[in-house]
Every structure is written in structure tokens, then in C-alpha cells.
Amino acid sequence: MHKSLFAALGIVLCGCSGGATAPGGVEEDTGSAATSDGAVTDTASGGDDTGTAMGDDTGGTTTDSMTPPGDTAGGCPETLAGTQAVHVMMNVTWPGTVGTAAGSGVAHVWTKSAFKIAGTAITATNAPCGSQVPDIVKNPIAGGGKTLVEFPAAVWNATAMPTFNVTGTQAGFAVGSTVTMTATPVLVGLTMTDPNAAWPALAAITGADHDGDGKKGITAVPRDGGGYTLPPTSLLQTSHADRLYIASRNTVALSGTRDTCTSMKGTATVTHFDNHVIGCHVKGGGECTEAQYKFIDDNRTVYKVTSATYETKIIADGANCDAVRAALPAK
């Protein structure tokens, strides 16, 4: 569910990575699992239809029509509150470093959004729910092989994980209605006085223990084996990190349409997709020294987002982040 070289992570939506939520946006969808065509039809061939008290029946082939309460003209229920899974897919490139090769691929960020709708206005509370980035290839000087950093599911379900408020607007509930969500910075593993300021240098990061494991940042676990190797803590490669503590910022705005009564798709505009490695743990040893995690951070993947899209889907209220990722898996 999450990949990267020495760092990587973007959480949106929200994740990942930036703000954005609400129907049509990255975090809001108003629809429900139930749908209606907006009309009920009774048809009888020959004779009078007396099956309902409503409708004009005049014998022969007749039709009774009525619009169920709460349905819009487009046939979708007016779902004024609910929970939505949001999945942002970013096409990214990255430059090479001393230890890693340049590359390109697709990064994924998931967000859970609890939304409310009043007229055309949308408000939502979003929680980061996952991050996945492409494999990173290490140069021979860094030991070769690939690096894949994964985030355990418990990270995203931690009670200390922050939430973010977002707003948006919608044209309506019917299929084809437009929905937009404003960009809101999503900070995971750190705090910033001004979340929209320039991304700070490593030394200026104020870490936060958002996964509640006693370490600043959120803990990622690099894969070891099967062609994947741990990130070295220096060019000498005398030690390697088996845990990385990550800080990230994502800022994403969403603009799309309802493609069903319970889902949306559209374009994501990513303003920020930033990360730092603010600490690490040495395999077979203790916590990394400042020089060791700084070496990894200096060789982290710095992404450039070239384009992005998103999709949303209504899920059960109270669902956790596992359900969010399961509802909209990476393809």
C-alpha cells in the first residue's frame, strides 16, 4: 500500500496528498448505495389500473408516475451527510541523487472524508488513510537493488492521526453534477506554523508523533529481501535502516463530476507533495544518529507531480482506513 525510496509519502486528501475532500472533491460524495429512477410506473394492458391512488388511469395502456420523497430530478437520493473514501492518483517524476536513479511512476494517496451538505455548500473532516509510491532504484554506490518503503496499516488507524477540515461546492446530487473542493494542506508527522509556507529544511522540521509509537514522524518499514534492500545510512554501507520516521505535506484541490449516485471522478490539482526523513532505526542496533538519518534524507525521493486524477466512493459510517483502501484499491 505504500512504496518509496528513502522516503516518500503524501497524505491527502488528502493524503496524502494535500487537502481536498467532499463529494466530487477528494472527500465528499453525496449519494448512497440506494438509487431511484425518480419515478414509479404502473402499466396495465387493457382495462383500468386501480393499483394506486395516484396517477391518471384511463384504461387501455396506462401509466402511474410519482417521484419518491427525497429524490432529486436526476434520480439520486439527497444524501446530506455520510462518509466517503477518496483516492488520488498522481503521475510523478523524480531526479537522481548520489544514491538513487531518476525515474517516473504513479503515486497514490487515500483519505477518509466525513461530509455534510447544505444546499450547494460542502463541509468535510478528512483523515489520511494511506500512501503508496513507486519503487526506487538505488545506484551501485548505494548498494544497488530497489527500495520499497511501506506503512503498516496500524499507522493510518492510529488515534493520534490528525484530521483536517475542508470546504467545497456542488451543483447538485444528480449524475453529471459538478463538485469542487478547495485545497487544504495535510500535515502528517510534523506541524507547521504556516502550512502553506515553503517546505522547510530538515533542521527546521518540528516533528509530531501522529502514529502514537513514541517516535516523531510516522513510521515506515522498508522492505528487505526479494530484490529489495534496506537504505544505507552512509556511503560506507556499514549499517542500514529498517525503520524510517517520515514527515510529509500534501495539498490537493479537486474538481470533478458525479459518475454514479455514490461515486465521483475528476482532476486533482496538487500544490504540495513534500516529505522528509526526520529519523530512523538501524537494523540490529539502536536509533540513527543525526548524520545517519540526514544521509537518508539527502537521498530521499523529491517528487514532481505532472498530473493527477481522483475517485471517490461512499462507504459505511465508522469505517476505518483499511475499508477506505479496500473500496478504492490501486490499479
| Tens digits of residue pLDDT in 275-307 | 999 999 999 999 999 999 999 999 888 999 999
Mean pLDDT of the chain: 82
pLDDT tens-digit readout, 56-77: 434 443 333 333 444 454 689 9
Q: What gap in Å lies between CA 202 and CA 54, rounded to an integer?
A: 70
Considering only CA atoms, which of 132, 129, 135, 86 is closest in space to residue 107? 132
Q: Identify the pLDDT of residue 144.
A: 75
* Nine-digit cell string for 247: 514527515
Considering only CA atoms, which of 37, 38, 68, 42 is closest in space to residue 53? 42
DSSP per residue over 117-143, as a string?
EETTEEEEEEEEEEEE---EEBPGGGT
Largest pairwise CA distance in the chain? 92
Pairing relation of β-strands 206-207 and 164-170? unpaired
More confident residue, 153 or 144: 153
Q: Identify the pLDDT of residue 46.
A: 41
pLDDT tens-digit readout, 235-290: 888 999 999 999 999 999 999 999 999 999 999 999 999 999 999 999 999 999 99
**Among 57-61, 129-133, 306-310, 320-324, which stretch is predicted with the lowest mean pLDDT?**
57-61
- Cα dihedral 226/228/232/238 (nearest 10): 20
Q: Identify the pLDDT of residue 74.
A: 66
Q: Identify the pLDDT of residue 159.
A: 95
Q: What gap in Å lies between CA 70 and CA 72, rounded to an integer?
A: 7
How large is the average pLDDT for residues 169-178?
96
User: Domain segments of the chain: what residues?
Assistant: 70-327
Q: Percent of the chain having pLDDT more than 90?
A: 67
For 139-173, letters b (16+ CB in 10 Å) and e give eeebbeebbbbbbbeebbebeebeebebbbbbebb
Q: What gap in Å lies between CA 309 and CA 154, rounded to an integer?
A: 27
